[in-house]
Structure 1
Amino acid sequence: MVSVLLVIGALVAAFVGFNIGGSTTGPAFGPAVGANAISKPAAAALMTVFFFIGAWTIGRRVVTTLGSDLVSDPGVFTLSTSIGVLFFIGVALFVGNVFGVPASTSMTAVGSIAGLGFANDALDWAVMGGIVTWWIVAPVIGFWVSLVIGRYFYPRLNRLIAIERSDGPLVELDRSGVLPIPRANATTNRREMAGVATVILIGCLMAFSSGTSNIANAIAPLVGSGALEMNPAIVLGGVAVGVGTFTIARRTLETMGSDITELPLTAAIVVATVSASLVVFLSAIGIPASFVVIATVSIIGLGWGRATRPIAVTDVVRGEETPDVDVSVGALAADDVDEEPPAIGESEPEQIPSAADLFDPATTARVVLMQNVVPLIATIGAYLTFRFLPIF
């Protein structure tokens, strides 16, 4: 007979999975959605499928090791303490999702487990120190790489890729036959299709990477305590994540795709490539990947770099060109900046968006604040609970 405590544990794990879907879909597919390369329902479907694939394959290894790496005594994971850890993970992630800010699932989960280990004098400080070090270094790398690309290489990349979204859908259904067949829109060119396919594939890679690490955040305590077997736990977590991607993830998709900075398709490809590369690297060396933070900081770095990039300005005086002068103008971060000055007698180009239009400091501050506050809530809450409540 299934115990009431196990049912509660499964429900709390599902609640965590629900919030994982809400918080991780934005960083994975926000750039693609912001560039109008894919719809929100399509992004949710792809996130669900590739998350589950990652969880079912590599993710089970993370589930097995998470409880033993951070905590020196696996015996602290009882069914009741596992429910407590999952509760703090779920509540903290829910707070972030309510504010429309995708919080780091790995940071929140590790913080909750660290609170449990610290309260029971069973925290492995060496492992914790290594994880925290990479959590600091990786976003800094992502920020500066994206900033340098946006400031110095973005115009060249944009001309090379030359991907501009055409009006209307990328594909249309040809219903002339017995079965509808998807065909490219008449206004869609090959380079556009290639760019769209690239940014979607990178999003799928990030979804897969999320599954390999984040499934453990939802089910590892229950599996480690022996309350649930591995395969049923992965199915439970995968279904819960899918529900989150189709519901609460809509807000984080908007935040990551449009509220922080405008993302043309070229920019979306840059952000996704930088973020996915860092996440794969961290996963390869066994560090829980906080790709939410990496993707967010990469978007900020690219937006900042584009808004302050140096360009060469040629003055036209009486038909003669003066030497180029390097300046930095935030308004020239837009993709449609004219490369050549207007000829004498022609009208001036239309008003170009300012740096504030491309890089929203208020939204950025809210994102950075919440992504630090949410894991802190989980860590402190778990420590105080497991330290002073006798029921645990």
Structure 2
Amino acid sequence: MSELVLLAVGIVVAAFVGVNIGGSGTGVAFGPAVGSELVSKMVAGGLMSIFVLVGGWTIGRRVVDTLGVGLLRGDPFTLRTSIVILFFIGGALFVSNVLGVPASTSMTAVGSIAGLGIARGTLNVEIALEIVAWWLVAPIAGFWVSAVVGRYWYDRLASWLAIDRSGGSLVHVDRSGRIPTIRVAPGATRREVTGAGVVIAIACLNAFSAGASNVANAVAPLVGSGDLSMNAGVLVAALAMGIGAFTLGRRTLETMGNDLTELPLTAALVVSLVTSILVVGLSGIGIPASFVVIATMSIVGLGWGRATRLDHFPETPTERPAEIGAPVESGGAPGAIEESDGSLNVADLYEPETTARVILLQNAVPVVATIGSYTVFFTVPSL
């Protein structure tokens, strides 16, 4: 098979990985905004594509350097090894989708590349240990930050986001002057527009973090082998993720946007903001971060923080005004929490058995990819 054909195969496999990442990431990033009817699926796909490209083009290339150059010593990547590694990453995405558990693409990518390094004796152990250390620190940080928010500030945030939608557009373009200006639409309040802006801004930050951390997962091996330049690799990955946002993303938006009872709007925004900040920070220092794992631990932390908050409620529930997104004590068991835009019982945020299963599978998929990669490259040295 000619090198040109192999390169075409490699780009197709990388694009497959990027499309899947973009499809799943769009639902996570813009689910709350679409579910709140602040943006359409088409607008969500467009914003996702733009901010993925910005994140990949600015910070994402640092992660590409780590995976494509720093993690392994020497020049271990060839076009054939790159294709095999990308197949492992794409296969992990497929398995996680079948199991219904979002696996960490970053952890799988690192594991697949590390398997090659272990088999060939080229693994840069110092960088590998640094990555693993951050994988342990970041989820713990996400847990505790979310726990503090859940315990002390969640009620205040939920009350602030309790915005009664007036219906119709929130803004309109005023073309009466020489320069068109954007103004608050008649009937809409500034508080409503501000709240909507916060939701959309956090969604765009999510998309930026997806580009910063996940562009490398699709093209780092091809960039590391020298078959794609850094700029070309980032563009291929960002374009593929954008296609995924407009195609597969519509389905994940349908699921995430219309099933907000599993994670109410306020909780979704807290988890998204905490996770995105951590992912962008790690990507900035070249560490491939797992949005999925950090987000999972942030959800657990938020639920745990809410659970500890219950201990301070009086035994006899007192009535509070019911607002959209504002937690109120129910007339049932003391300490039960509800939100009018979706239940916020602690079990919805933190269910030990389900959480344990998700965390186990999230870590099992990268381990299987690492072992599989090692086995293939050890037994077939000609690759």
Pairwise TM-score range, normalised by the shorter structure:
0.7 to 0.9
The match for 1:87 is: 87
Q: CA deviation at 1:316?
A: 9.6
Question: Percent identity at matched positions?
Answer: 55
Distance between the aligned counterparts of 2:361 and 2:261, measured in 1?
14
Counterpart Cα distance in 2 of 1:364 and 1:35: 26
The residue correspondences of 1:226-241 to structure 2 (distance < 5 A) are: 226-241=226-241
Q: Are positions 1:152 and 2:152 aligned together?
A: yes
1:334 alignment counterpart = 339
Q: Provide closer, same or farther for how the CA distance between residues 129 and 78 of structure 1 changes in structure 2, counting only shifts above 3 A.
A: same
Instruction: Give the gaps of 5 or more residues in structure 2.
Output: 319-332
Q: Superposed, which structure 2 residues align to 1:293-312 within 5 Å?
A: 293-306=293-306, 309-310=309-310, 311-312=312-313
Query: Which residue matches 2:64?
Result: 63
Q: Secondary structure at the match of 1:312?
A: coil
Output one character per residue of 1:100-125: Cα deviation in whole Å (capped at 9) or x when no partner. Answer: 44332211111111111011111112
Classify 1:379/1:201 alpha carbon distance in 2 versus 1 (closer, same or farther; 3 Å): same
Match of 1:320 in 2: none
Cα distance in 1 for residues equivalent to 2:40 and 2:355: 24
Question: 1:208 and 1:147 mapped to 2: Cα distance?
Answer: 24
Amino acid at match of 2:96: G
Of 307-316 and 78-87, more deviation after overlay is shown by: 307-316
Residues of 2 paired with 1:185 and 1:192: CA distance? 11
For normalisation by structure 2, the TM-score amounts to 0.81
> Structure 2 residue aligned with 1:384, among 367, 375, 383?
375
Counterpart contact for 2:163–2:195, Cα < 8 Å? no
1:297-334: CA deviation from partner (whole Å, max 9, x where unpaired): 223322443355325337599xxxxxxxxxx9552253
1:236 CA drift (Å): 1.9
Q: SS of the residue aligned with 1:3?
A: helix
Q: Report the Cα distance in structure 2 between the residues aligned to 1:26 and 1:316, rounded to whole angstroms.
A: 37
Task: Tell me what 2:25 maps to.
Answer: 24
Identify which range, 30-39 or 125-134, moves more after superposition. 30-39
> What is the rounded CA distance, in whole Å, between the counterparts of 2:6 and 2:271 in structure 1?
43
* Aligned partners of 1:260 and 1:364 also within 8 Å: no
Distance verdict in 2 for CA 1:316–1:76, change over 3 Å? closer
Runs of 4+ in structure 1 off by over 6 angstroms are: 172-177, 180-183
1:41 equivalent to 2:14? Answer no
The one-letter code of the counterpart of 1:331 is: A
For residues 174 and 54 of structure 1, the distance between their equivalents in structure 2, rounded to whole angstroms, comes to: 29
| Post-superposition offset of 1:255 | 6.4
Code of the aligned partner of 1:49:
I
Cα gap change, 1:308 to 1:242, in 2 (>3 Å):
same
Name the structure 2 match of 1:325: none
Structure 1 residues 330 and 83: CA distance shift in structure 2, 3 A = farther
- Superposition map of 1:1-392 within 5 A: 3-73=4-74, 75-159=75-159, 161-166=160-165, 168-171=167-170, 188-250=188-250, 252-253=252-253, 258=259, 261-264=262-265, 266-306=266-306, 309-310=309-310, 311-313=312-314, 315=316, 329=334, 331-334=336-339, 354-356=345-347, 364-365=355-356, 367-392=358-383
| Structure 2 residue identity aligned to 1:377 | V
**Given residue 10 of structure 2, which amino acid in structure 1 is its aligned partner?**
G
Count of residue correspondences: 363
Q: How far off its partner does 1:386 sit?
A: 0.8
Provide the C-alpha distance between the structure 2 equivalents of 1:114 and 1:98, rounded to a whole number of angstroms. 25
Deviation at 1:132, TM superposition (A): 0.9
Q: In the superposition, relative to structure 1, how do residues 330 and 261 fare at CA in structure 2: closer, same or farther (>3 Å)?
A: farther
CA distance in 2, matches of 1:369, 1:182: 48
**3-state DSSP of counterpart to 2:337:** helix
Distance (whole Å) between structure 2 residues aligned to residue 259 and residue 35 of structure 1: 9
Partner deviation per Cα, 1:71-104 (whole Å, 9 max, x = no partner): 122x210110011111111111222234444332
SS in 1 for 2:313: strand
Shift of 1:378: 1.9
